[in-house]
Structure formats: structure tokens, C-alpha cells
């Protein structure tokens, strides 16, 4: 018998009060958070069944993935002095929250499950988020909107990461090579799997016009399209052909790029299955 989504949510909700807890020196009690999430993750894994089993059930089992949302809240503005004080305190609070997010991921992944920080990146409004273009300077992007992800990636090493729906400076996040390859993987050293949110915006690459949709996505090293088809609810639609449409053509997807993204997915799978025993 498999866990229902509510079984897991109920267990996970018991941990949330710890996020406000502090240690003897007044700092966030990341150790308590990590321990509590480790216990919750072990229980979740036990509820879901044997870690190596492939369950067969009329009701799809719950994915062994818990999302950690790292969105940044907007800062209210008042007078210059009050705004400065508020922003300083907000930055301090933000640093604490980022550390707690890393602790959540570390706790969860002590069991053979995967955390999935999201939404990468600049997903800071719900209204029109499927069409929104987040225009942000390079400095603000790094110092505010990406800082929590950087801490979480470097300290906790999540096995999965989810992109956002929105554009960032004109490029959909799931096609954003600068974000998902140059910064995330080459600069921060991330070696896990990157997935889309539930569907993606279909488009052609402005740099390589013949490359589009899933080929465009794989070039950016966004490895998995969720849930697997063009709509947010379809899990069995036929392949649209866009991944391999340009294989062998000028500026098209290459065998090396396909192998690279396959390696990212397989590495994540092995790390989850063997609970940290897999080595590069």
C-alpha cells in the first residue's frame, strides 16, 4: 500500500515549526531541522516501500521528491532610514532562511530520497507567472535572487533542481544556458538533474533558429521535461520529435549533448538509489 500525498504532507508539516527554532546562541537550529527532516525522509521512504522496487498500482505512487521553495519576498519601501534598517534585517533573515533551506535538503537526502529546490530562478510572483519576464541586473540576480540557490547547491548538493515558468531577461528559464549550464554547473559545480516545472513554453532558439523545444532545452542542460509531454497533465502523449529533429544538422543538437544530459539523469538516479554511496 502506497502513501497518499496527504500522508507525506502531514508528516512534513510536523517539521515546519522547527524552522523558527534557534540554538543556544540565537542562531537558526539547522542541526535540529536536518535531524527532523532526516527522520521524516526515512519514514517517507518506508511508507513508499522498498527503495529498489518498481511499484505497480492503479494509483501512481508519490514521487520521492520534496520541493524546497527558495523564492525571494518583495521588500516594502518606506522612508530612507527605515528602508535601510528593514533591508538590513531582511538580508540577515534571508541568510538564515537560506541556511535552513540547505539543512532541509541535507536532512531529506540522508535517506534514499531526493529534495528538489525550486523554482530556478526569479519566480517571485504567482500572477501571470507563465508569461512573466523577470528583468533584473546581473548584480541583483547574483546577490539577491540566486544567493539562496548558491548556498543550497554548494552546501547541500540536492540531487534534483526545478526551473521556473518565467523568463529571465527575455529567456525562458528552461532554455537559459547561462543560468543552467554556465552558472549552475560550470561555476557552482552542480552535477545533479535539472527538470522543468510541469510543462514548458515551446520556442525556437534565437541563436540557433533550427533548434527548438526539447532540443533547445537539452542544449541548456535542463535534462527532464515534466511530466513528459506538452501539457501539464498528460503523461502518455507521443514524443513530439523536437529533441532529435536537428541531430546531425548544422548547429543542431549533438550526440555529445544528448549523452551529457543522459549522464546527468543516470547520475541522479544512482545517487538516489544508493543513498550517497555512489561516487563520481
End-to-end CA distance of the chain: 35
Instruction: Tell whether omega for the bond before 227 is within 30 degrees of 0, i.e. cis.
Output: yes
58, 26 Cβ separation under 8 angstroms: no
**Does 98 qualify as catalytic in the annotation?**
no
Distance CA 140, CA 90 (A): 15
Label the pairing between strands 167-168 and 171-172: antiparallel
Distance CA 99, CA 72 (A): 14
Burial of 32: CB neighbours in 10 Å, binned 0-12, 13-18, 19+: middle
Helix (H) or strand (E) holding 193, with range, is strand 193-198
Helix (H) or strand (E) holding 112, with range, is none
Residue of 261, 186, 251 whose CA lies nearest to 221: 261
Catalytic residue among 29, 98, 197, 213: 197
133-158 as b/e: b if 16+ CB within 10 A: ebebeeeebeebbbbbbbbbbeebbb
Distance CA 213, CA 18 (A): 42
How many angstroms separate the Cα of 157 from the Cα of each of 103, 107, 122? 11, 11, 20
Please list the active-site residues. 197
Amino acid at each position: 500500500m502506497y502513501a497518499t500525498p496527504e500522508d507525506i504532507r502531514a508528516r512534513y508539516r510536523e517539521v515546519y515549526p522547527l524552522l523558527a527554532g534557534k540554538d543556544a546562541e540565537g542562531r537558526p537550529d539547522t542541526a535540529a531541522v536536518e535531524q527532523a527532516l532526516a527522520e521524516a525522509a526515512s519514514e517517507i521512504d518506508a511508507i513508499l516501500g522498498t527503495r529498489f522496487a518498481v511499484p505497480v498500482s492503479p494509483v501512481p505512487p508519490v514521487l520521492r521528491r520534496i520541493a524546497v521553495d527558495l523564492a525571494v519576498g518583495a521588500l516594502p519601501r518606506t522612508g530612507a532610514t527605515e528602508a535601510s534598517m528593514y533591508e538590513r534585517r531582511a538580508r540577515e533573515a534571508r541568510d538564515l532562511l537560506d541556511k535552513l533551506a540547505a539543512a532541509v535538503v541535507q536532512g531529506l537526502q540522508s535517506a534514499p530520497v531526493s529534495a528538489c529546490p525550486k523554482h530556478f530562478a526569479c519566480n517571485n510572483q504567482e500572477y501571470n507567472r507563465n508569461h512573466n519576464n523577470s528583468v533584473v541586473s546581473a548584480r541583483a540576480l547574483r546577490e539577491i535572487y540566486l544567493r539562496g540557490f548558491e548556498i543550497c547547491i554548494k552546501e547541500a548538493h540536492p540531487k534534483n533542481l526545478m526551473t521556473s515558468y518565467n523568463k529571465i531577461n527575455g529567456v525562458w528559464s528552461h532554455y537559459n544556458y547561462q543560468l543552467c549550464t554556465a552558472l549552475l554547473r560550470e561555476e557552482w559545480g552542480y552535477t545533479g538533474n535539472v527538470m522543468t516545472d510541469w510543462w514548458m513554453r515551446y520556442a525556437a532558439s534565437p541563436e540557433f533558429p533550427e533548434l527548438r523545444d526539447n532540443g533547445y532545452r537539452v542544449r541548456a542542460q535542463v535534462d527532464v521535461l515534466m511530466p513528459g509531454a506538452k501539457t501539464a497533465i498528460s503523461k502518455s502523449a507521443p514524443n513530439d520529435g523536437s529533441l532529435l529533429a536537428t541531430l546531425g544538422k548544422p548547429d543542431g543538437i549533438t550526440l555529445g549533448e544528448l549523452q551529457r544530459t543522459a549522464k546527468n539523469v543516470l547520475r541522479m538516479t544512482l545517487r538516489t538509489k544508493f543513498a550517497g554511496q555512489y561516487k563520481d
